Chains A and B, each alone.
Chain A
Amino acid sequence: MYSRKSPLPYKMRDVVLPGDAACPGCPIPIAWKVLGAVFGEKMILVIPACCSSVVVGPYPYSSIKASVVHVAFASAAAVASGIAEALERRGITDVYVVAWAGDGGTADIGMASLSGAAERNHNIIYIMYDNEAYMNTGIQRSSATPYGAWTTTTPIIGKTEHKKDVAKIMIAHGIPYVATASIGYPHDLYAKLERAKSIHGFKFIHLHAPCPVGWRFDPRYTIKVAKLAVETGMWILYEYYDGKLRISGPSKPFIDSKRRKPIEEYLKLQGRFRKITPEKVEEIRKYVDENWRWVKLLS
């Protein structure tokens, strides 16, 4: 067991058990290790249909030492709301309700129930783990798939629309806490979860999670790809609370655009961008600059 003071690696040891059903190099259990470090066994994960529902393994067993509630695709936020209210009525305050849904389950089909739960400000932490497509059903595009990316439903020229910015939508809901995070920075994610844990009401975390199978890269590069997204400025880490946006430590050096790595470094590691044209790379660059402009405006 660990104390609050022991370093992160020790706290990550207990909750996630070896031998789950995740593909080699999958980012999902890495994030769960951080969740385990923050909440221990005292969390109720509400998981809609997605890769994660498979990763924990088939009934009657589970790969994590925490409660998991498997729910229908669109309903993670609604079910989590109900559980949070039930805990509140019973006076249980040391158990945390975490809705854990994919980008499809959040940015597409779960958007209505997410928006409703946020507006009602239920006491839950909603984590959208974003592997930028419907991976569990075979790499179909979602609204969170980036511009230019190959998926099985954008096969020839790649996706022709930009990524939906869900964190921005959640900021517009006026909820107490919104953050972006990345699987490449577990200490940053840990600090964000700790802050979310201390706040009552609806908390939203958008977690960037590179998928070796769907993005077409060698599983050894999961963390490298995640870090490159931040180092190229394609993914910006921040927290938004008390009406102010705060750029997080790992992203701070890249406020200055000259210090960012060329986005080609991020794209070239991934097979899903193999056929991307220079014009499209330029279009992504514009999108990145626009994102930074917006983030700086709020901070």
Chain B
Amino acid sequence: MLNRIIVEKPIHNRIVVAKPKIGVAGKTGTWRTEKPLVDNSKCKKCYQCEIFCPVNVIRVDPNTGATVDYDYCKGCGICAELCPFNAIRMEPE
């Protein structure tokens, strides 16, 4: 019986595979109670904020500085806490 199932239905047809997607938990920016605001005149492009952002929503540009994707930023404050140049501050939503 088991043999028949395996012969008739190749195994890969029965494996459930999830697809990568941005926002599996929706627009997580709505979770935020505080919002990180970047002052790029203070930014020294050290990448600390980008490296540690758990949501992977900060991008540091070597010319213009840091930008945040507010659709998904959860407002944890890690970036503001870590920035050595105080270029990021948290503001209540």
List the interface of chain A (C-beta within 8 A of B).
Answer: 7-9, 12-13, 16-22, 24-30, 33, 56-65, 68, 186, 212, 218-224
Contacts and interface: CB of A to CB of B under 8 A. Distances in A.
A17 B81 contact: no
B74 interface: yes
Interface string B23-44: 1111110010000000000000
Given A9-B50, A24-B75, A219-B78, A61 B57 contact: no
Contacts of A7: 47
Contacts of A61: 18-21, 24
Contacts of B51: 8-9, 12, 33, 186
27 contacts: A8-B51, A9-B51, A18-B28, A18-B57, A18-B71, A19-B23, A19-B24, A22-B54, A24-B31, A24-B75, A26-B54, A27-B54, A29-B54, A29-B56, A30-B52, A33-B51, A33-B56, A57-B21, A58-B24, A62-B20, A63-B24, A186-B51, A219-B78, A220-B76, A220-B78, A222-B76, A223-B82
Nearest to B34: A220
Number of chain B interface residues as a range: 35 or more
A17 B50 contact: no
A5 B42 CA distance: 28
Interface of B: 16, 18-28, 31, 47, 50-57, 59-60, 69, 71-72, 74-78, 80-82, 90
A56 B78 contact: no
B70 to A, nearest CB: 11
Contacts of A8: 51
Contacts, number: 117
A261 to B, nearest CB: 17
A68 B31 CA distance: 26
Contact of A64 (B20, B23, B52, B71): B20
B82 A17 contact: no
Contacts of A222: 54, 76, 78
Nearest to B18: A62
A18 B55 contact: yes
Nearest to B36: A220
B20 A20 contact: no
A64 B50 CA distance: 17
A27 to B, nearest CB: 7
B47 A20 contact: no
A62 B24 contact: yes
A25 B77 contact: yes
